[in-house]
Each structure stands twice: as C-alpha cells, then as structure tokens.
C-alpha cells in the first residue's frame, strides 16, 4: 500500500468515501466543492493506494489562521498562509484500525514541513476531538466554526517541526 498525490481518475472513489464517512452527519460536500480543496494545494493532497483501489485520502489546503473553509463554497487560493488546514481525512471502513489514518497524517505533516508550513489546523467533527487531541492538536474553542460543520465542531491546531513529524 502506498501514498501518492491525487489523480483525476481518483475522484469517483474519493467522493464515495467522503459520502460514506460524512453523509450521516450531514457534512458531505458537493463533489465540485470537495475537488476545489485539492486544487488549492494539489501537492498536499494524497490517496492511500492499495494497487487495486483507493483505501483512503487526505485533503489539505493553505488557510488563514483560525479560519476554516466554508463547506458550501469552493476554496479560494490562499497561497502564502503559514497555516495548512487538514480539511478531510477518510479511510475506508475495511482499512480502519490499522494505523492507516496516522500514516496519511504523518505523510501530510512531513510534506507540509518540507514546504515551510508552520502549523496544521483542522475542524474536529462528529466526536473526533479526542482522537486529534491525543495526537497533539490543541483546541481553540474561541474560533467560530460555520454552522455547516455541526454543533460539536471544534477548531484545533498544532505547530509543526521535525519533532512533530516524529511524534504524529
């Protein structure tokens, strides 16, 4: 199983994985809006490729500090931000609980560090805040999250450096 950047022919599987993970929580994005996330930073968006299928993916994009993308709108170009926003991380059900999500996060963190990003942010949804807190992400409850993320959504972030890559 390997990690590579997203190709055009990956999108049907990514859309299927995204819907399976988020539709029940009312968080599934329009496919065109979802694809806009990857266009903002294509070299920081990856799939977990088994050789036969896409087992998971991660989408990340530059984002101004203490903000997050609007789920209903395409992502604008935010080049120059020292913050990278981990927008979406999904691993197919049959590949979960095998460390695959953290493999994607480590890969993303290493790539972000090599490109000069100083911090990674995310919005923890659907009860995932404890997972991210256990991996070094700190909550920022003062950040206002758009309603589309759900009531329990929480903005979290962590600085990145060589130690962070090793610890993730």
All domains in the chain, ordered by first residue: 2-120 (3.40.630.30)
* Reported confidence tier of residue 26, pLDDT bands at 50, 70, 90: confident
Entry pTM: 0.91
In this prediction, residue 57 carries a pLDDT of 96
79 pLDDT band (50/70/90 cuts)? low
What integer pLDDT is reported at residue 82 of this predicted model?
Answer: 81
74: confidence class by pLDDT, cuts 50, 70, 90: confident
pLDDT at 123 > cutoff 80: yes
Report pLDDT digits (tens) over 128-150: 999 999 989 999 999 999 888 98
CA distance 20 to 93: 9
Exposed, middle or buried: residue 53 (CB in 10 Å: 0-12, 13-18, 19+)? Answer: exposed
Residue 80 has pLDDT above 70, yes or no: no
pLDDT at residue 146, rounded to an integer: 87
- Which residues lie across from 86 on neighbouring strands? 60, 122
Q: Is 49 helix (H, G, I), strand (E, B) or coil?
A: strand
Write down the pLDDT at residue 77.
62
């Amino acid at each position: 199983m390997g990690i590579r950047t997203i190709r055009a022919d990956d999108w049907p599987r990514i859309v299927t994985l995204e819907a399976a993970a988020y539709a029940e929580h009312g968080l599934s994005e329009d496919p065109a809006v979802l694809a806009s996330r990857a266009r903002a930073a294509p070299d920081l968006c990856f799939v977990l490729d088994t050789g036969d299928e896409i087992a998971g993916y991660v989408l990340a994009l530059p984002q101004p500090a203490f903000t997050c993308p609007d789920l209903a709108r395409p992502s604008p170009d935010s080049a120059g931000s020292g913050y990278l926003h981990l927008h979406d991380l999904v691993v197919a059900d049959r590949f979960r609980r095998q460390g695959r999500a953290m493999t994607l996060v480590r890969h993303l963190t290493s790539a972000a560090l090599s490109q000069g990003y100083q911090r990674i942010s995310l919005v923890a949804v659907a009860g995932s805040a404890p997972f991210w807190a256990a991996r070094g992400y700190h909550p920022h409850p003062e950040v206002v999250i758009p309603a589309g993320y759900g009531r329990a959504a929480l903005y979290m972030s962590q600085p990145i450096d060589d130690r962070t890559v090793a610890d993730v």
